[in-house]
A and B are shown apart, each in its own frame.
Chain A
């Protein structure tokens, strides 16, 4: 019970607390960076495109939950989501088709070229610039990561707007 004369803070009941609002964005940035690290280390450490993409989507979902879908600092527009989704899917298919066109096997690791079926000049085009020479695997991880990060985020953004949509229809 509040004492007479003392006013309670005028918090909006639907709003998150200031502590959450201040701390969520830096934490989300750190989670995004961890997700990117997970994607880029997918060929040598546990993790990969799906796991890293899910971590980045987790950061976006965290912001949507704390700030609300209208006030979130991590705003994904419809065009951004569709562009990243298309780039991810197209990159995966095209990298796979490169293997099919050059060797007859879909998703053949053209950059790694373990069986020597591709000329060295073409293999150099697809090689990943690190010490492992993993070929196309990191690029596939990046494509999957792009798809997953916008896919999972889009699901949560859509769910968070169903209530508003239903209120508009009434």
Chain B
């Protein structure tokens, strides 16, 4: 169990999947959670704690945290920061 043996494939897919969904998340709305630096840090710390509680998938045995969960959170945040504010919702 070491970080050198980390399974990178599902992590990358999780980041891409999170990016796709996160590209539709608007972060700059007045009436919702404010994504300031402190808000994002709190969210990432919460995600880290949660991923430790969830644990890694059974056969991966690389790190004791759920890397796909963490990658998905980071993907959503990156996607929303890059594309979310400009996504046009026409529903």
Residues of chain A touching chain B, judged by Cβ–Cβ distance below 8 Å, are 21-26, 29-30, 32-34, 36-37, 39-41, 44-45, 56, 67, 69, 71-80, 84, 128-132, 138, 142, 145, 149, 157, 161
Q: Nearest Cβ in chain B — how far from A101, in angstroms?
A: 25
Residues of chain B touching chain A, judged by Cβ–Cβ distance below 8 Å, are 7-10, 13-14, 17-18, 20-22, 24-27, 29, 31-33, 39, 43, 46-47, 50, 54, 57-60, 66, 68-70, 72-73, 75-77, 87-91
Interface of B is mostly: helix
Interface of A is mostly: helix
Given contacts A21-B31, A44-B59, contact A29 B76 (CB under 8 A): yes
Q: In the bound complex, do residue B50 and residue A30 qualify as a contact, i.e. CB atoms below 8 Å apart? A: yes
Residue of A25, A34, A129, A149 with highest tally of chain B CB at under 10 A: A25
Q: Offer 21 A-B interface pairs, CB within 8 angstroms, sorted by A.
A: A23-B33, A24-B32, A26-B43, A29-B73, A30-B50, A32-B22, A36-B68, A37-B14, A37-B68, A40-B68, A41-B68, A44-B59, A67-B32, A75-B24, A77-B88, A80-B87, A128-B9, A129-B9, A130-B60, A138-B10, A161-B91
Contacts of B75 in A (CB 8 A): 36
Contacts of A80 in B (CB 8 A): 24, 87
Q: In the bound complex, do residue B32 and residue A142 qualify as a contact, i.e. CB atoms below 8 Å apart? A: no
